A and B are shown apart, each in its own frame.
Chain A
Amino acid sequence: MYWSPIYLSVKIAFFSTVITTIVGTLLAWLLARGDFWGKDILSSITVLPMILPPTVLGYYLLTFMGKNSFIGRFLEETFNISLVFTWQGAVLAAVIVSLPLMIRSVQSSIESVDQNLENAARTLGKSELSIFLKITLPLSWKGIVVGIVLSFARALGEFGATLMIAGNIPGKTQTLSIAIYDAVQGGNYQLANFLVILISTLSILSLLLLNKFLDIEKW
């Protein structure tokens, strides 16, 4: 009982971070280097989850991904995946709330890569994909690492949107944050203290590790 929410939270945060890293890096690249119609709109939308209350985000997810929605039905019928009251739903919620952190971090990193380096690679006959993989990405690794750590932490602590879409089912969707809330509500301070100390220690450790890592000058 003690470990189930911890395991669940880590699992959700892991999958969420993997998705966030891939999607977020691509979006960050598009926003930093792309030149297309609607870029400003896309840029605004990607910040939105930082501004909207988590419950509102959760409500949107319920509305657009729920069993009665077009997407929800499609997922259910095609892949047999339901997002409501499942851990996959919690992953989706975590992705949505952590994407802005990932995008901001990677975008500013990519923007600080000297465009002449990319131009040099272009004149050497390289494709845009190859330039992204060989030049831009390796040179913005710090932003990506920061993004991963922030996204993981954000996913681990996610509460509002997760509660809305995945609910509070012990052993199935009851994550760490929700378990703490539940424990306090039920007067189970022993459990609450344990979980709070655990998550605080983990957070501090990961920040220390991150700082150590970012100090490395590779070249």
Chain B
Amino acid sequence: MLKVDVEKNFNNFELRVKFEVENEILVLFGPSGSGKSTTLKLIAGLEEPDRGSIVNQKVQFFKRSTKANLAINKRNIGYVFQDYSLFPHMTVFENIAFGIRGRGLDKLEVKRKVNNLLTNLRLEGLSNNYPSELSGGQQQRVAIARALIIEPEILLMDEPFSALDTLVREKLRQDLLRVHREYQIPVIYVTHNLTDVFVLADQVAVYNQGRIEQLGSKEEIFYRPRTRDVARFVESKNIFDLVVEEVDGKFKLKNENLTLFAESKKELSMGQEVVAIIRPEFIELVTAEDEKARASENLYSGVLHKKLAKGAITRLFVNQFSQQGFDILIDVLTTRARDLNYGSELKFKIPPAKVHLIV
């Protein structure tokens, strides 16, 4: 287990984070400049914390109070950089072998280890190529192999796939999941890509301005964001400031544009201000036939004025509060969205149980 509890001050920025990682993939997620990469550098020893401690298993990487600061090259950490940072003057083979050169292994042993990784990361046949002759995806796989050869106790990855196109990214995510299953070590993965979070994360730490705003499973982050910013970062999209009007069974929430019923276990009182969050995929379109059969609460209508196809699903922008130019965003299957025309009136329903409240 890796335990991190550190502070680092820059001119006008202060990083203060605390978390623990088991043999799982922890994704550090958040806007750029929020301190994610700095956290990796502190763990690796590329930067020194101003306060706090970092402990891996029982090994003290850093502790301010005892002045303990283990040298970078003694921490046994795999680090994968955003720009790959392969050694341009070495072949793929030499790049991967670099970490175990000079450790007293005989040539055959080195070759065997490198070849294993070449196979594992789909790099066969490229061992004599130079990095400049490889595609971005290949380069990043070499970088991962190079980091893994020293059998690191922790793997740190700084936006590793951000420069790659979607298809290559998807393949590399699968590579990473496979490698993680095999090596069973903590992986800390920095990204601002939501799909990365969804595919890779066992745990997510949502960063904002040098703090971890929420730490939890991806379900918690996506469906139960703790703050407005987290809701925004995970693209909850429909975020409303409302005031509690009734607390009788369901909550009745209201502002000048919207009345919304919500079910929640939270304790709310009359007149309290809350933030209501409804993810676009939770809003249901209602057709004329089944309209009467449904409960009448949280039933709205609006004008469709924009469609954004995102592959299998399409995001609808429905102008419910025309005078404010305020949109409700609804995700529907693309096959369904095809039949919907611009300017047409849509009826939709927000299930009260799907409304998440932030107090």
Taking Cβ atoms with an 8 Å cutoff, the residues of A that contact B are 114, 116-117, 119-127, 130, 134-135, 138-139, 218-219
- Tell me which residues from 48 to 92 in chain B have a Cβ below 8 Å from any Cβ of chain A: 72-79, 81, 83, 85, 87-89
A170 → chain B closest CB, angstroms: 48
Closest A-B pairs by Cβ, 9 of them:
A124-B99, A123-B79, A122-B72, A116-B85, A125-B73, A120-B85, A219-B130, A138-B89, A219-B88
CB of B98 within 8 Å of the partner chain: yes
Residues of A within 8 Å of B45, CB to CB, are 122
Is B87's CB under 8 angstroms from A116's CB?
A: no
Interface CB pairs A-B, < 8 A, 18: A119-B72, A119-B81, A120-B79, A120-B85, A121-B87, A122-B46, A122-B73, A123-B72, A123-B75, A123-B77, A123-B79, A123-B147, A124-B147, A125-B99, A125-B103, A126-B73, A130-B102, A219-B88
How many residues in B have their beta carbons less than 8 Å from beta carbons of A? 27
Cα–Cα distance between A124 and B97 once the two chains are bound (Å): 10
Cα–Cα distance between A71 and B46 once the two chains are bound (Å): 42
Is B85's CB under 8 angstroms from A117's CB?
A: yes
Is B89's CB under 8 angstroms from A218's CB?
A: yes
Nearest to A130 among chain B residues (CB) is: B102
Cα–Cα distance between A219 and B79 once the two chains are bound (Å): 24
Residues of A within 8 Å of B44, CB to CB, are 119, 123
Cα–Cα distance between A16 and B147 once the two chains are bound (Å): 42
B48 → chain A closest CB, angstroms: 12
Is A124's CB under 8 angstroms from B150's CB?
A: yes
Q: B146 contacts which of A114, A122, A124, A134 (Cβ < 8 Å)?
A: A124
Cα–Cα distance between A127 and B103 once the two chains are bound (Å): 12
Q: Which of A114, A122, A123, A134 has the most CB of B within 10 A?
A: A123
B167 → chain A closest CB, angstroms: 26
B245-268 CB mask vs A (1 if < 8 Å, else 0) is: 000000000000000000000000
Residues of A within 8 Å of B89, CB to CB, are 138-139, 218-219
Residues of B within 8 Å of A130, CB to CB, are 102
Cα–Cα distance between A145 and B87 once the two chains are bound (Å): 20
Nearest to A218 among chain B residues (CB) is: B89
Is A125's CB under 8 angstroms from B76's CB?
A: yes
CB of B132 within 8 Å of the partner chain: yes
Is A125's CB under 8 angstroms from B85's CB?
A: no
Q: Which of A114, A117, A122 has the most CB of B within 10 A?
A: A122
Residues of A within 8 Å of B102, CB to CB, are 130
Q: Which of B72, B73, B83, B103 has the most CB of A within 10 A?
A: B73
Nearest to B76 among chain A residues (CB) is: A125
Residues of A within 8 Å of B79, CB to CB, are 119-120, 123
Residues of A within 8 Å of B147, CB to CB, are 123-124
Is A116's CB under 8 angstroms from B99's CB?
A: no
Cα–Cα distance between A125 and B131 once the two chains are bound (Å): 21
Q: B81 contacts which of A120, A134, A218 (Cβ < 8 Å)?
A: A120
Cα–Cα distance between A116 and B131 once the two chains are bound (Å): 15
Is A125's CB under 8 angstroms from B74's CB?
A: yes
Cα–Cα distance between A209 and B78 once the two chains are bound (Å): 43
B126 → chain A closest CB, angstroms: 15
Residues of A within 8 Å of B78, CB to CB, are 123
> A124-B146, A126-B73, A219-B130 are contacts. A116–B88 as well, Cβ < 8 Å?
no
Residues of B within 8 Å of A122, CB to CB, are 45-46, 72-73
Cα–Cα distance between A139 and B90 once the two chains are bound (Å): 10
Is A125's CB under 8 angstroms from B87's CB?
A: no
Is B98's CB under 8 angstroms from A121's CB?
A: yes
Cα–Cα distance between A120 and B46 once the two chains are bound (Å): 10
Cα–Cα distance between A117 and B102 once the two chains are bound (Å): 18
Add 11 more A-B contacts to A123-B75, A124-B147, A219-B130 (CB < 8 A). Answer: A117-B87, A119-B72, A120-B146, A122-B45, A123-B44, A124-B150, A125-B103, A125-B150, A127-B73, A130-B102, A134-B98
Cα–Cα distance between A123 and B79 once the two chains are bound (Å): 7
Is A139's CB under 8 angstroms from B88's CB?
A: yes
Cα–Cα distance between A55 and B34 once the two chains are bound (Å): 58
Residues of B within 8 Å of A117, CB to CB, are 85, 87
